Every structure is written in C-alpha cells, then in structure tokens.
Amino acid sequence: MLVDMNGFVGKSIKDICGKYDNESNENNCAHFVGHMLSYRLPHAALCSNCEGTQYSYADRLQGFCIRVDQIYNSLTNRCSWPDDVPTSPCIVVATLDYNITDIELYTIGTNPRKHIGIFVGQNVYNYSNTHKQVAMTPLSQFKLHFGAETTLLKADLP
C-alpha cells in the first residue's frame, strides 16, 4: 500500500530511517522508495543489514531495500516509459541506455547512473541526494535527470 508522500517532502533520510545513516556516503533514492513501499526482498541489501549497522541478526531482517536495481528488477510489468502518461501510481527509473542489461525484460544493471522514484499524478517523489531531502519533482524535470540521454523506465508498484 502506498503511503501519502506529501508529508515526507523536505525530510532527510535520517528523518525517515533510524536504522542506517548513510546520508553523506551513498545514494538514498532507493532507500527512500524502499521505506515508502515497506519493500524488502530476500537476499537484498537492506538498510538494517549494511556495513556499520549495530543491529542484531534478527533485527537486520527488518530493514527495507536500498538498491535501485534490486527493487526495479523484482517488479512486474517493467517497460520503457509510455507515451501516454500513466494514470495510476507506479515506479519510475531514470537511467542511461547502456545500463539496461536486458531490453526484452527491461532489466537494469548496477551502474551508478540510475535514479528511482514513485510517480503520482504528474510528479515523481524521489530522494534528492544533492539536496539530501525528499523532493517532489515534476515528471518533465525527472525526464532530464541525466541530461538529454536519460532513459525512463516504468514498473508496477509491488
């Protein structure tokens, strides 16, 4: 179930997750999406089981996904961004063509040139690593995340 994300706009990852403080070191876009969707996968990198965590083994299983490729590649109905803007909330990924490792299945690789958010209405809720806070970015701006070469991909919410 998708939570109301408007209340998260402007918040840092520390405000959202008390398990893993990687704000200064890593990309938090997937970390944000993982929390918004309460999304965890077997054998995935979770915020509670990353290097430096002080949690017990049992508690380490309670975190949420923090990797763009692990989230996106696990979802259904992956495709290129449609010409007709979706009317239902969905996952959107900005990447570059060379990071798409299987064009038929729309699988993405581990190249760091990828960014994930949740599309609702005409906006993408995503974690701005530059500003270190949740942003509500118009789709027209998100489409240019990596400049004119940006490729957008879509997937259904879990």
66: containing domain: 5-155
pLDDT of residue 54: 63
pLDDT of residue 25: 60
CA-wise closest residue to 68 among 60, 58, 59, 78: 78
* List of residues 6+ apart from 147 with CB closer than 8 A: none
- Number of domains making up the chain: 1
Evaluate whether 153 touches 93 at the Cβ level (below 8 Å).
yes
Instruction: Write down the pTM of the prediction.
Output: 0.89
Beta-carbon count within 10 A of 38 CB: 12
Q: What is the mean pLDDT of each run of 10 residues along the chain (158 residues)?
A: 84 80 70 88 73 61 81 95 93 96 93 95 94 95 96 96
